[in-house]
Amino acid sequence: MNPRSRGLALLSALAFKAFTAAAALTTLPVWADEASPIGLWKNVDDVSGTPRALIRITESNGALLGKIEKVFPAPNEDPNPRCDKCEGANKNAPVIGLVVLSGLTKDKEGEEYVGGQILDPDNGKVYRSKVRLTDNGKKLSVRGYIGVPMLGRSQAWLRQE
């Protein structure tokens, strides 16, 4: 093989390796999203079955944080609602931008995020919370409760991205 052919072969091999590495890296976030609750979720009302909000879950210092990005008000509801029943710093705060999920950390088995709180902007109450990914990461089971998880209610949030 002459030097020019060897150079072209080496260049082709490097280009193929670079393409393969780039393809692998672009698919990596998809795998990470399915194994983690981090991302955008649609909150569906557990009573009516209608979408209520889009909530972005992020992670900070090992704990999950969920903030409302968009609301889906009914025709008779305020399109820019405020948390008028909330207390403290959240009193009359706009619901869009409100932190509704906080303090959740992975349990020892790595199956659930526990030890957090969830705020219900409709009644202003804060409940203990835990979440678990289901349906291969496409759904998030969100449980809010008082005292023990048995005394509460659950919602299924749907992954949006």
The continuous run of DSSP H or E covering 157 comes out as strand 152-159
Rounded Cα distance, 102 and 57, in Å? 9
**Other C-beta atoms within 10 Å of 125: how many?**
14
pLDDT tens per residue across span 99-123: 999 999 999 998 999 999 999 999 9
DSSP secondary structure string, 55-124?
EEEEEETTEEEEEEEEE---TTS-SS-B-TT--GGGTT-BSTT-EEEEEEEE-TTSS-EEEEEEEETTTT
* pTM of the complete model: 0.77
Q: Give the tens place of pLDDT for each residue, 32-46.
A: 446 899 999 999 987
For residue 83, how far is the Cα from the chain centroid? 21
- Strands 51-60 and 99-106, by their bridges, are unpaired
Q: What is the pLDDT of residue 34?
A: 64
